[in-house]
Chains A and B, each alone.
Chain A
Amino acid sequence: MDNSDQEVQGHQHQQQQQPTNVKVKNQVEVQIGLVGDAQVGKTSLMVKYVQNVFDEEYTQTLGVNFLKRKVSIRSTDIIFSIMDLGGQREFINMLPIASLGSSALVFLFDLTRPETLTSIKEWYRQAHGLNEGAIPVLVGTKYDLFVDLDPVYQEQLSRASMEYAQVMDAPLIFCSTAKSINVQKIFKVALAKIFSLTLTVPEINEIGDPLLIYSAFGNKRSRGAAR
C-alpha cells in the first residue's frame, strides 16, 4: 500500500463507478431421475439434452451419472439436475440416489425391445415406492429404429405402452435421441407436471407417430407448486 504520498488526492478518485445492477434472477432447481433397463438409452438421452451430442457407441454406466443443465428464460433460471442410474441389476441398490429428492422420475424403455417395457413394472414399483411424490414420465426410446419395424408390432407396442402409462398415471413420450425427436419435450412435460403448468403444445396421438400424450395421464396427482 502506498499511503505515503496519499493525502487528499490518493483516496478521492479511486472510487470506481458502481455496477448498478442489483437485480436477482429467480432460480428453480429440479432434480430428475432416469431409470430403466440396461442399454435403453438413459445416458444417451441425458448427454443429448445437456450437451447436445449423440454417441452411437455404448458405454455401460457404472453406478450413477449426474449432469446439470441451466435453462434461462427472461428473469428465471431453471436448473435441471439429472441423475442417470446404470440399468444393470447390480446397481439397483443405488436406486435411492436417483429416486430420492427427484421431483420427476423418467422411466425409459427401448421401443425395439418389448421386454424392456415389461421391466418398467418392476422399476416403477421400486422407484415410485421410494419416492411417491415424484412425477412419473414414461418414455419409449429409439423411435428412429421403431418406425422401420412391422406396423403391427408398432401398433401392439404403442397400445401396450399407453396401458402402462395409464396405470402409472404418467405422460407418455416416444423419443429418438439419435434423430432429436421429442428430447426437449420430455423435460418440458416433466417441468409442467411438477409445477402444474398449463401445456398447450399439440399432443401426438396417432399410432406410428412419435407419441406425446400428456393430457390423458398424469393429472390425478397435483403437487403443491414449489417456489
Chain B
Amino acid sequence: MLEVKDLVVAYGKVRAVKGISFRVPQGQVVSLLGTNGAGKTTTLRTISGLLRPESGEVWFEGQRIDRVPAHKVVQLGLAHSPEGRRIFPRLSVEDNLMLGAFARKDAAGIAKDLQRVFALFEILKERRSQPAGTFSGGEQQMLAIGRAMMSRPRLLMLDEPSMGLSPLMMQKIMGTIAELQSEGVTILLVEQNAAAALELSDHAYVLEVGNITLDGTGRQLLDDDRVKRAYLGES
C-alpha cells in the first residue's frame, strides 16, 4: 500500500534520513522504532508531503507522491497525526474534528464519521464545544487521532501517540489502534515505547541515525537481543 524507496531527506546540508526503504502492506500495523533523533518524524513528514526528499521515492497505492503537496496527499487517503498532537488549541473540539474532514465534500459521510469518532472517544462528545487547548495530554491525543480519522484515511500515520501519557491512557490509545486495524485501516506507527508498539505490530523497522538497521515481525523483534538491550530496557 505504501512503499518508501531509498529515501534521503536533509535539513540544509545535514542528512536526517540517509536512504531508507520500507513498505507498509494493506491492513497491517507497521512500526518505525528508534531513539530520539533517529529520523522517524522526518520520515513521516516527508511521506505526508510537508518535507521534500533530496532523493528517493514514496509510492502510495500505485501513485508516486513524493512531489505531491501535503494538502493533496491527505485527499488521497493518507492521514498524518503529527508528533506532539498539534491540535488547534483555540478552536473547539468539534471544529478541530471538522477540520480533519476539510477536503471532503460528502456531508452525510462526514456526519457519520463524526459519530464514529464520538463513539470511540466519548469524552470528545461531552466536551465538543470546549476549546481544545484546555484538554489534558491524553484527551488531546484522542482528539488528534479522531481528527486524523475524519479524513477517512486508508492509511493512518501516528507519530508517538503515547508520548507523555499515563499508562492507563496509553493502553486506551493502543487499544484504539488495534480497533482501527480491525476496521480495515492500515497503520504506520512511530513509537518510543517499543514494547507496546511491537505487541501491536505485524512488522517493525528499527531506525538508527537515519538508517534502517533491523527489521522483522513484531514477535521477532521482541525476542531480538539487540532490541531488548537498546529499546526494551532489558540487559
Pairing of A with B: no
Q: Which residues in B have some Cβ–Cβ distance to A below 8 Å?
A: none
Q: Which residues in A have some Cβ–Cβ distance to B below 8 Å?
A: none
